[in-house]
Amino acid sequence: MKRILRYLSGYVRVELTGYATERFLNLCTNHNIYIWDMEHREDAYEFSMSISDFFSIRPLVKKTKTRVRIQKKMGFPVFLFRYRKRKLFLAGFFLGVGIIYLFSCYIWNVEICGNSVLSEETLFRYLETEKVYVGSKKKDINCEELEAEIRQHFPNVIWTSVRLEGTKLTVDIKENLVTAEENKKTEEIPQDIVADKTGVIQSIITRSGVPQVKAGDKVKKGKILVLGRIEIRDDIGEVKEYKYCKADADIIAKTTYSYEYRVPKQTEQKVFTGKEKKRYALWYNKKYLELPSFGKDYPLYEKETEKKQLKIMKNFYLPFYLQKNTYREYEKKTHEVSKKEAKQIALANLEVFLSKLEEKGVQIIEKNVIMDTEKNEYVLKGTITANEKFGIYQDTKQLEVPKEEGNIENESE
């Protein structure tokens, strides 16, 4: 802030020489004349002082018989004096300052942080209903009221903070990921565990529900593994009532995955020539203006786009986006793939396939794949045997309790 005020009022960089330079500096202190950035060189001092203070030191210079020379003039008044005859330049300067001030009255960037369940699209749509969006006026936004409205509209949001910095609006939220109501609702729904694919049961540990299979059973897709319906029988073994629950069990099954990957014997490869060119474009309010570029376009190229919002300071965003398009020239060349290369490519793809299975908790037991040669391609195919967690949930079918039939002999009596 001091630097800004100094620049607006103007200041000079001066050199002080003479016999009683220290006395001059002491007198400046006594007369409340502020100096800064002082440097001592041999028999001279160099420092900065405001223009108004410079005009008030003449009596002190005369009294101490020192000499003050201006080394450099700086600041806004100096800038205006220097360009006083360039009216168009000054008009453009003040116009630019006015435009920047006008832009500072609006929001040009909205950032949402901390959300995981709620999507950014949902939050942005809600903010638009509250008239908070890119281009809205800052004076129309009450941060405290907006915080309360977000918490009221989204019950799973337990904390929120809305702050305005420059032309940027930041919304920080914290969510309650699992609410008590959701837990209760999930527990109340009776569900079975069913097979989501064909496999052989290796182990089953049931915590709730009625198991329908045992270790060693081969099951097909859709088979009920654990039933969420429990039969309550009377003394003679007839069903008296049904109790329902959400089945819960740890089930491990042996499953088989089919694998096939084809590599063509002849491929076209991109060979980059090393030539590239950049083009820039300016975006404003969804309008696109590409800046002119010299030279011919490449017949074959790969395009890389980078888009960035312009800003003056850290949080002073502008409604303009600069897009940089990079074009890299390449040529197409035919490549004959050998069987060895094809096997390396196919095995690399197989490793990626297996790593994705392991990320899901699948334990690989056996790999049985072979490489075959067909007319125009190489084929790596086979099966993969694995142990994995088994079963998915589906709603339990609810049955009516059989009604008791009355005794005919008793009725006749």
Q: Determine the pLDDT at residue 147.
A: 92
pLDDT of 241 higher than 60: yes
One-letter amino acid of 177: L
| Three-class SS state of 155 | coil
CA angle 299, 300, 302 (to 5 degrees): 135
Of 330, 285, 286, 283, nearest to 304 (Cα)?
330
The residue-averaged pLDDT of 273-294 equals 83
Burial of 391 (0-12, 13-18, 19+ CB in 10 A): buried
pLDDT digits (tens, 9 = 90+) for 297-337: 888 999 999 999 988 878 888 888 999 999 999 999 988 88
Q: Determine the pLDDT at residue 412.
A: 37
Q: Determine the pLDDT at residue 413.
A: 38
- Residue 64 sits at φ, ψ, to 5 deg, of -95, -5
DSSP-H helix ranges across 83-161:
87-103, 120-129, 143-153
CA angle 196, 197, 203 (to 5 degrees): 85
Q: Determine the pLDDT at residue 52.
A: 85
The residue-averaged pLDDT of 21-32 equals 88
Contact 274, 235 (CB under 8 A): no
- Residue 117 sits at φ, ψ, to 5 deg, of -80, -50
pLDDT digits (tens, 9 = 90+) for 132-166: 988 899 999 999 999 999 999 998 888 999 999 88
User: Of 54-58, 90-94, 338-342, 369-373, where does mean pLDDT reach its minimum?
Assistant: 90-94
- In order of their start, the domains of the chain are 2-81 (3.30.70.260), 109-175 (3.10.20), 266-336 (no CATH)
Number of neighbours of residue 219 by Cβ within 10 angstroms:
21
Model pTM score: 0.54
The residue-averaged pLDDT of 290-303 equals 81
Q: Determine the pLDDT at residue 185.
A: 52
Contact 143, 166 (CB under 8 A): no
Question: Which position has the token pair 């806004």?
Answer: 76
The residue-averaged pLDDT of 233-243 equals 83
Contact 373, 265 (CB under 8 A): no
pLDDT above 70 as % of the chain: 92
Q: How far apart are CA 202 and CA 275, in angstroms?
A: 59
